[in-house]
Structure 1
Amino acid sequence: KANSVPNDNIQRIIKRAEGGDKTEYEAITYEGYGPGGIAVMVETLTDNRNRTAANMRHYFDKFGGNLGQMGCVGFMFTQKGVIVVDLEDKDPDELMMDALDAGAEDFDAGEEAAQITTDPDNFTAVCEALEKKGYTFISADVAQVPSTTTTLTDPDQLTNMGKLLDALDEDDDVQNAWHTLENEEDLDR
């Protein structure tokens, strides 16, 4: 639940682990471009690749983007551990030192939270070290981090990008969706 996994997916995974569900699931990553050329990567877990592929193509087409070939945007993303820590009653400088000592690669502090990035191999070790020091995580997961981002200024493109991300978010097969949109806060959501 902390990673925003839908209840249906959790129940399906539990049933499968218990042996009650013989359905075979397949992890497939889809890549494409949203409105305004925003690169989008979508990680799915599906029992029907035809349904999922058709849904992905539909979402991208409907909201002004297009589904691409495997690898068309993958090079723009790097897999990183991303930990967001609540800074309430915590010193950002002390957190930065603790994070870097634990093996983190990068640190970026805001007003209320700090984002720490790690190599995926060090992710668990950094999380455990920070937990032992009493830090509270807002989120912690391994994500695809874009190497560059793009800002959309066209209101129609922003609206369609918001609708595309919402459609992906509501699809039961979609586990994660990453994108290169810089100004996500401007989306109508």
Structure 2
Amino acid sequence: MGRIFEVRKSKMFARYDKMAKGFTRIGKEIAIAVKKGGSDPENNPMLRRCMQNAKSINMPKDRVEAAIKNALGKDTSNYDEVLYEGYAPHGVAILVETATDNTTRTVANVRSHFNKGGGTLGNSGSVAFTFKHLGVFKLSPEGLNTDDLELELIDSGLDELGEDSEGNIIVRCDFADFGNMQKALEEKGITAISSELEWLPMNTVEVSEEQAEDVFKLIERVEQDDDVQRVFHNMA
């Protein structure tokens, strides 16, 4: 009984850590959006996107409002968005998105995480060219016809339309068309469950289960860093 309790407790803490990390990530994205485009979501599409993503992970409304208010303060941090590139063990390419108020600290920490995890931090441009930078919109299928939607979104930069494992509609577009796609969906009265910019590998690397475990250990180490927003890889 004690062992079962410990496992349940461990899973509970893991879920809490994941939720807390998600709230922190969205909070930084809100701060960046407000600094760039102001606190009115009606006139700031980047902030609208952040608020919708906050809703998708059940971030409390008062916490969202607090993040917006804090971003308006004179003494709040200005975050720089920096992409780090490198390799995990076994030749797996890694991209690390960060939002930091101290790039010197962040690059030192990320390099340390790679070194301790058996990887190597590379130079800018050493890995990113093997990925496609895409906008990814998750939509509820309710009331939508995918064939019609596909035709309607082609002129807005649609790259791919499909479904995820939960039956949600997934719309992908090129990074440069992200704003056009967001506007097109809004004009059609479609509110995305979430909308993100993601890095999709153009080629993947096959690894064994043991090798995959090595890679995931490095990714987990990197993801625990407070400055890290998200990590992408090309492992199959």
The two structures have a TM-score, normalised by structure 2, of 0.63
Q: Which residue of 1 aligns with 2:99?
A: 45
Which one-letter code corresponds to 1:9 in the other structure? K
Tell me if 1:79 matches 2:98.
no
Quick one: distance in 2 between partners of 1:88 and 1:121? 28
Residue matched to 1:9: 28
Aligned residues between the structures: 178
Output aligned runs, 1:95-134, within 5 Å: 95-110=149-164, 112-134=167-189
Match of 2:219 in 1: 165
Closer, same or farther in 2 for the Cα pair 1:11/1:28, shift >3 Å?
A: closer
Letter in 1 for 2:86: G
Q: For the Cα contact (< 8 Å) 2:114–2:222, is it kept in 1?
A: no
Residue identity opposite 1:109 in structure 2: E
Amino acid at match of 1:151: E
Provide closer, same or farther for how the CA distance between residues 109 and 11 of structure 1 changes in structure 2, counting only shifts above 3 A.
closer
Are 2:227 and 1:179 aligned?
A: no
The answer to which structure has the higher helix fraction is 2
- Residue 73 of structure 1: how far off its partner (Å): 0.6
Q: Whose Rg is larger?
A: 2
Q: What root-mean-square deviation, in Å, do the aligned CA atoms of Structure 1 and Structure 2 show?
A: 2.9
- Once residues 132 and 168 of structure 2 are traced to their aligned partners in structure 1, the CA distance between those partners, rounded to angstroms, is 22
Residues 58 and 108 from structure 1, CA distance in 2 versus in 1: closer, same or farther, beyond 3 angstroms?
A: same
Matched, 1:143 2:162: no
SS at match of 2:205: coil
The alignment partner of 2:158 has SS state of: coil
Residue 32 (structure 1) aligned with residue 51 (structure 2) = no
Structure 2: stretches of 5+ with no match in the other structure: 1-18, 33-67
For structure 1, the residue ranges without an aligned partner over 5 or more in a row are 183-189
The equivalent position to 1:61 in structure 2, one of 100, 115, 125, is 115
SS at match of 1:18: coil
